[in-house]
């Protein structure tokens, strides 16, 4: 008794091979795009909040003036003067003279909201303004619609032991 003859499946044609390759390439592109998206969003994580009070930092100096906001669109790109990537939702700001990396607490004088931000860029270049905040900070501080508001900028520093 002979077993039933086996059916041979035909070898994939050139079209089928290309189709399989295209699906694999599409899947790899989708995975790469998903990874890039995750990295982009984690890079934009904010480092402060509108109610942030930094207990380990003390006020070194205070400035009063006007603040405005800027964004990737108004900055002509995503790079800042410090070389970091500008993120519209990041807790960062531009100041003319403070060293890069300086932490400052910006308080909106019209509503009392404040946020601790890091100086990563230079500016503002408009007379009468002392600091430019990202559009996300402006929204959290409640002045995105107004554009310019009076603020108090407190330069923060670490407490030195023995003082």
User: Does some domain include residue 5?
Assistant: no
| 14 close to 22: Cβ distance less than 8 angstroms | no
Report the alpha-carbon distance of residue 124 to residue 68 in Å, rounded.
8
Buried b (16+ CB within 10 A) or exposed e, 132-162: bbbbbbbbbbebbeeeebebbbbbbeeeeee
Within this chain, do residues 80 and 21 fall inside the same structural domain, yes or no?
no
**Confidence (pLDDT) at 11:** 59
Report the alpha-carbon distance of residue 5 to residue 25 in Å, rounded.
37
DSSP character for 70? E
Residue 100 belongs to domain with CATH number: 2.40.40.10
Within this chain, do residues 33 and 61 fall inside the same structural domain, yes or no?
no
Which has the higher per-residue pLDDT, 14 or 42? 14
| Domain span at 17 | 13-43
User: Does some domain include residue 17?
Assistant: yes
Instruction: Give tens-digit pLDDT for 108-119.
Output: 999 999 999 999
- What values do phi and psi take at 155, rounded to 5? -80, 125
User: Does some domain include residue 23?
Assistant: yes
How does residue 101 score in pLDDT terms, banded at 50, 70 and 90? very high
User: Does some domain include residue 151?
Assistant: yes
User: How many domains does the chain contain in total?
Assistant: 2
Instruction: Give tens-digit pLDDT for 27-63.
Output: 666 665 556 555 555 555 444 444 445 557 888 999 9
Question: 13 is written with which tokens?
Answer: 């044609």
Within this chain, do residues 131 and 96 fall inside the same structural domain, yes or no?
yes
- What values do phi and psi take at 117, rounded to 5? -130, 165
What pTM value is reported for the model?
A: 0.64
User: Does some domain include residue 50?
Assistant: no
The owner of tokens 């990737």 is: 72
Within this chain, do residues 105 and 37 fall inside the same structural domain, yes or no?
no
How does residue 159 score in pLDDT terms, banded at 50, 70 and 90? low
Within this chain, do residues 110 and 34 fall inside the same structural domain, yes or no?
no
Which has the higher per-residue pLDDT, 57 or 139? 139
pLDDT of residue 67 exceeding 70: yes
Report the alpha-carbon distance of residue 155 to residue 149 in Å, rounded.
18
Within this chain, do residues 91 and 27 fall inside the same structural domain, yes or no?
no
pLDDT of residue 24 exceeding 90: no
Within this chain, do residues 22 and 98 fall inside the same structural domain, yes or no?
no
> How many CB atoms within 10 Å of residue 55?
6
**Confidence (pLDDT) at 148:** 95
Residues 134-160: what's their mean pLDDT? 91
Within this chain, do residues 81 and 113 fall inside the same structural domain, yes or no?
yes
pLDDT of residue 90 exceeding 80: yes
Which residue intervals of 44-132 are DSSP H helices?
none
User: Does some domain include residue 62?
Assistant: yes
Within this chain, do residues 72 and 120 fall inside the same structural domain, yes or no?
yes
User: Does some domain include residue 141?
Assistant: yes
**Confidence (pLDDT) at 5:** 64
pLDDT of residue 80 exceeding 70: yes
Report the alpha-carbon distance of residue 101 to residue 117 in Å, rounded.
9
User: Does some domain include residue 2?
Assistant: no
Within this chain, do residues 117 and 39 fall inside the same structural domain, yes or no?
no
């Amino acid at each position: 008794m002979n077993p039933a003859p086996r059916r041979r499946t035909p070898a994939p044609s050139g079209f089928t091979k290309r189709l399989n390759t295209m699906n694999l390439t599409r899947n790899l592109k989708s995975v790469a795009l998903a990874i890039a998206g995750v990295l982009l969003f984690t890079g934009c994580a904010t480092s402060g909040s509108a109610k942030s009070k930094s207990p380990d930092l003390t006020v070194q100096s205070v400035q009063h003036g006007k603040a405005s906001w800027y964004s990737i669109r108004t900055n002509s790109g995503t790079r800042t003067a410090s070389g970091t990537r500008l993120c519209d939702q990041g807790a960062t700001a531009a100041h003319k003279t403070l060293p890069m990396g300086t932490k400052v607490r910006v308080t909106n004088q019209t509503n009392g909201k404040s946020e601790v931000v890091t100086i990563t860029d230079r500016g503002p270049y408009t007379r009468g303004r002392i600091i430019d905040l990202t559009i996300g900070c402006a929204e959290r501080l409640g002045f995105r619609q107004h554009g310019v508001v009076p603020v108090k900028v407190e330069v923060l520093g670490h407490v030195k032991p023995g003082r």
